Amino acid sequence: MDTLKKKLRVFTLVCAACVPVLAHAADTQTKPAIVVLGDSLSAEYGLPRDTGWVNLLRDKLAKERLDYSVANSSISGDTTSGGRARLTAVLTRIKPKVVIVELGANDALRGVPLATTETNLRTIVDASQAAHAKVLLIGMYVPPNYGPDYTQKFHAVYEQIAKDKKVPLVPFLLAGIENQPNMFQADQIHPTVQAQPLLLNNVWPSLKPLLGASASQ
């Protein structure tokens, strides 16, 4: 975890491509859809097009013969406030069956109060569930030099929301690579192409159980 601060510090500065990635979104008109509401970790920042973990998810779904489309509504540098602000439009346009929420790191870097982050995440979960979508929450850790009390409280926000809202939680998208410099791009912030399958492997065990009941709908 010692190298994580360097990897997270520039998240808020990475807004050169601050537009949502919505490749393949047209398929959501004919298939049940999964929406990924995330930041640069899910927005393919610095990667060739269609090589990020979200696109690998499309390939995984096809291999598993699960008839879902995937809409990547991720923006580099985004916060929980940004995700909350654009969620209604995403839900209205795509009508997803599943919403994967991968937000929060930028809140910590900007010093957003934990209560605000928690409120935003709860609102995102509530709105998604109200739109009849299942939710998968992806947690985040902050570096230990933020102080053990803050570090524990920050991650506990995800755990508490998952418990209260009865949604599955992926504890940490970068689990297993956070201390491997070779798994990150030159900026030592964003995972490489080679790391993307590992990110998907962190998500898939919690996501797959959400798909069975909806796969034929």
Q: Which residues are catalytic?
A: 40, 187, 190
CA distance readout (Å), 44 to 114, 145, 214: 27, 28, 27
Say which residues have a Cβ less than 8 Å from residue 91's Cβ, sequence separation at least 6. Answer: 35, 99, 127, 128, 131, 133
DSSP 8-class letter at 192: -
Rounding to the nearest 10 degrees, give the CA dihedral for residues 91, 30, 136, 75.
-60
Say which residues have a Cβ less than 8 Å from residue 104's Cβ, sequence separation at least 6. Answer: 79, 80, 117, 121, 139, 140, 154, 157, 158
Contact 42, 101 (CB under 8 A): no
Q: Quote the tokens at residue 55.
A: 């696109």
Q: Quote the tokens at residue 214.
A: 């909806």
Say which residues have a Cβ less than 8 Å from residue 68's Cβ, sequence separation at least 6. Answer: 31, 32, 33, 34, 61, 97, 98, 211, 214, 215
Q: Quote the tokens at residue 44.
A: 């393919």
